[in-house]
Structure 1
Amino acid sequence: MLSKKIGIDLGTSTVVVYVKGEGVVVNEPALMVTDEKGGRVLAVGRAASELAGKGGKVRAIRPVRNGNGVDYGIAGALVQHLIGRIIGRQRIFRPAHGEILALESLPVGGDALDAAIDEAVSSARGLRLGGGEPERIKRQIGSANPPVADTSIEVMAIDAQGQPALTQVSAAEVASAIEDLVDQIGAAVDRVFTQVPAERRAAVRRNGLVLTGGGAQLNGLVEFLGGRARMPARIARDPEACVAVGTGMALDNLQMIRRGQHYIT
Structure 2
Amino acid sequence: MFSKDIGIDLGTANVLIHVKGRGVVLDEPSVVTLETDTKRVLAVGEEARRMIGRTPGNIVAIRPLRDGVIADFEVTETMLKYFINKVGARNWYSHPRILICAPTNITSVEQKAIREAAERSGAKEVFLEAEPKAAAIGAGMNIFEPSGNMVIDIGGGTTDIAVLSMGDIVTSSSLKVAGDRFDEAIMRYIKNEYKLMIGERTSEDIKINIATVRPNGIQREMDIRGRDMVSGLPKTVTITANEVQNALADTISSIVSSAKLVLEQTPPELSADIIDRGVILTGGGALLDGLEELLSQELHVPVLVAEDPMHCVVKGTGLMLNNLDKVSKKKF
Please confirm whether the aligned pair reaches a TM-score higher than 0.5, indicating the same fold: yes
Which 10-residue stretch deviates more, 107-116 or 149-158?
149-158
| Cα displacement (A) at 1:170 | 1.9
> Does structure 1 residue 212 correspond to structure 2 residue 282?
yes
User: How many residue pairs were aligned?
Assistant: 261
Matching residue of 1:34: 34
Aligned match for 2:182, one of 110, 113, 118: 113
SS in 2 for 1:240: helix
The 3 A distance-change label for structure 1 pair 155 and 23 is farther
The 3 A distance-change label for structure 1 pair 80 and 173 is farther
Partner amino acid for 2:2? L
Aligned match for 2:246, one of 176, 182, 190: 176
Q: 1: CA distance between counterparts of 2:12 and 2:203?
A: 13
> Which segments of 5 or more consecutive residues in structure 1 lack a partner in the other structure?
none
Which 10-residue stretch deviates more, 249-258 or 140-149?
249-258
> Does structure 1 residue 195 correspond to structure 2 residue 265?
yes
Which 10-residue stretch deviates more, 144-153 or 105-114?
144-153
SS in 1 for 2:8: strand
Deviations 1:148-200 (A, max 9, x none): 34321123423448765433232122111111111111111111111211222
Partner amino acid for 2:65? V
Q: 1: CA distance between counterparts of 2:84 and 2:198?
A: 30
Q: 2: CA distance between counterparts of 1:157 and 1:36?
A: 26
SS in 1 for 2:286: helix
The 3 A distance-change label for structure 1 pair 225 and 113 is same
Q: 1: CA distance between counterparts of 2:211 and 2:287?
A: 10
Which 10-residue stretch deviates more, 89-98 or 178-187?
89-98
Matching residue of 2:2: 2
TM-score, with normalisation over the residues of structure 2?
A: 0.70
Matching residue of 2:207: 138
TM-score, with normalisation over the residues of structure 1?
A: 0.87
The 3 A distance-change label for structure 1 pair 144 and 54 is same
Q: 2: CA distance between counterparts of 1:12 and 1:86?
A: 20
Partner amino acid for 1:174? V
> Does structure 1 residue 154 correspond to structure 2 residue 155?
no
- Aligned 8 A contact 2:281 2:306 in 1: yes
SS in 1 for 2:51: helix
The 3 A distance-change label for structure 1 pair 172 and 33 is farther
| Cα displacement (A) at 1:147 | 5.0
User: Which residues in structure 2 correspond to 1:41-190 (within 5 Å)?
Assistant: 41-57=41-57, 58-65=59-66, 67-71=67-71, 73=73, 74-87=75-88, 89-160=158-229, 164-190=234-260
Deviations 1:31-86 (A, max 9, x none): 22333458233322222221115354343322332x43432613333233233334
Q: 1: CA distance between counterparts of 2:238 and 2:48?
A: 24
Deviations 1:211-258 (A, max 9, x none): 111111111111111221111111112111110121122132246554
> Which segments of 5 or more consecutive residues in structure 2 lack a partner in the other structure?
91-157
Q: 2: CA distance between counterparts of 1:172 and 1:193?
A: 30
- Aligned 8 A contact 2:20 2:321 in 1: no
Q: 1: CA distance between counterparts of 2:36 and 2:191?
A: 23
- Aligned 8 A contact 2:51 2:61 in 1: no
Identity value in percent: 34
